[in-house]
């Protein structure tokens, strides 16, 4: 069996736990992420260089999108709100006259 190729990506972020959670659904068995010292640390291991490059490229693309969305959010919403029935329409006002 050939030696595994590995890469480690360290991404500092103001909300590393939220970023790691956002990326988790896209991770495969070859991708391991953790939060460490204000950063998401991800290790990717694959059997071939080509596969490692492709997996790393996919991860970095997802990482960029996740970080951009969290940066745009500016902490205005909570990271733990999973209530599908929560009112997310800013134009809804229960006190307005109809």
Confirm whether 62 is domain-assigned: yes
Does residue 68 form part of some domain? yes
What are 19's two structure tokens? 């970023």
- Total tally of structural domains belonging to the chain: 1
Nearest to 19 by CA among 1, 8, 35: 35
The whole domain housing 55 covers: 5-73
The model's pLDDT over 27-77, given as tens digits with 9 standing for 90+, comes to: 888 999 999 999 999 999 999 999 999 999 999 999 999 999 998 876 555
Domain with residue 35: its CATH number is: 3.30.310.50
Residue 37 domain-assigned? yes
92 has a pLDDT exceeding 90: no
Q: Whose CA is closest to 27, among 8, 44, 3?
A: 44
For the record, the structure tokens of 57 come out as 């490229």
Domain assignment present for residue 90? The answer is no
Residue 79, in any domain of the structure: no
What local confidence, expressed as pLDDT, does residue 35 receive? Answer: 96
Q: What's the confidence (pLDDT) of residue 26? A: 82
Residue 88 forms part of a structural domain: no
**What CA–CA distance (Å, rounded) separates 85 from 62?**
27
pLDDT at position 71: 87
């Amino acid at each position: 069996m050939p030696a595994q190729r590995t890469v480690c990506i360290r991404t500092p972020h103001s909300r590393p736990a939220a970023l790691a959670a956002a990326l988790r659904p896209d991770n495969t068995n070859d991708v391991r992420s953790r939060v460490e010292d204000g950063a998401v640390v991800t290790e990717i291991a694959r059997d071939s260089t080509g596969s490692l490059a492709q997996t790393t490229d996919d991860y970095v693309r997802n990482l960029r999108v996740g970080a951009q969305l969290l940066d745009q959010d500016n902490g205005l919403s909570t990271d733990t709100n999973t209530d599908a029935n929560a009112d997310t329409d800013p134009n809804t006002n229960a006190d307005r006259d109809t």
